[in-house]
Amino acid sequence: MALSESSTEELLVETKGRVAVLTMNRPDRLNAISRDMLGELSAKVVEADKDPEIRCIVLTGAGKGFCSGLDLVEAGGGGIGSAGERSTRPRQLFDLRDAPVNVMWSVDTPIICAVNGAAAGYGMDLSLLCDIRIAGESAKMAAVTAKRNVVPESGGTWLLPRLIGWAKAAELYYRARVVGAEECLELGLVNAVVPNDKLMDTAMEWAEEIADNAPLAVQTTKRMMRMGLEQSYDTSVDQLMAHLGGMFQSEDFQEGVKAFMERRKPEFTGR
């Protein structure tokens, strides 16, 4: 399944070599997540993950903000989670399987977040779900849900303590703090801080470095890291050895060995 570059008004899709760039495109609302954007983002992440030619995804926002969270104006006016919507929909089991936050967690293709401005609420959760975060100097993480009488419903309470520890996560959430780019770097919330005008260049450079490596090795590593969060050490090592046996039989393993012996850059095909 190849990634379609068909964009919508609210989500721009571009393929650059072996990298898929997804840009949330509601700059007038600081890329607040609408219902349409939710569906499109999920669909494009899944498409990119299934495309054997795509080896990394870059997620960013248009304009001055990364993502200001769920669109509360839409929510109050008959959109996401509004009273009007609830009254017309039949009751059903709570199901987030196709939501971006679950899709992004479950895919094996690495995702780099280019944080170009404020990431608040749902937007902060989206950034935390990415494997790597690169921040522009003007980027901010806004853990402000307690100021809205809501919770970080999209994985934040699970992710943040694992990323920066319980005490720091508690500080950010309980105090509803807004954290600038440099403090995010100190906390380990982002991998690097770069000038705003170098953000996408840096994100693409990192993405292309990932894309140059053996895709099966990268994707298996991501899956084993994800599963390892809930496994015992022995179980994790056992699964790694099972994967390794198959990788030894692959064309890419032979190519990696041959390239090392010939002192050249390997050309991996994913086979």
Q: How many helices (H) and strands (E) does the chain have?
A: 12, 9
- Asked if residues 76 and 82 have their Cβ atoms less than 8 Å apart, the reply is yes
Contacts of 74 (CB under 8 A, 6+ apart): 32, 34, 35, 80, 82
What's the pLDDT at 91?
57
Backbone phi, psi, residue 219, to 5°: -70, -35
For the chain, give the longest Cα–Cα distance.
Answer: 67
The three-state secondary structure class of 16 is strand
Contacts of 257 (CB under 8 A, 6+ apart): none
44-94 confidence digits (pLDDT tens): 999 999 999 999 999 999 999 999 988 866 554 444 444 444 455 565 555
What's the pLDDT at 79?
43
Q: What are the structural domains, with CATH classification, of the chain? A: 11-212 (3.90.226.10), 215-262 (1.10.12)
Residue 100: how many other CB atoms lie within 10 Å: 25
Q: Sorting pLDDT into bands at 50, 70 and 90, what band is 95?
A: low
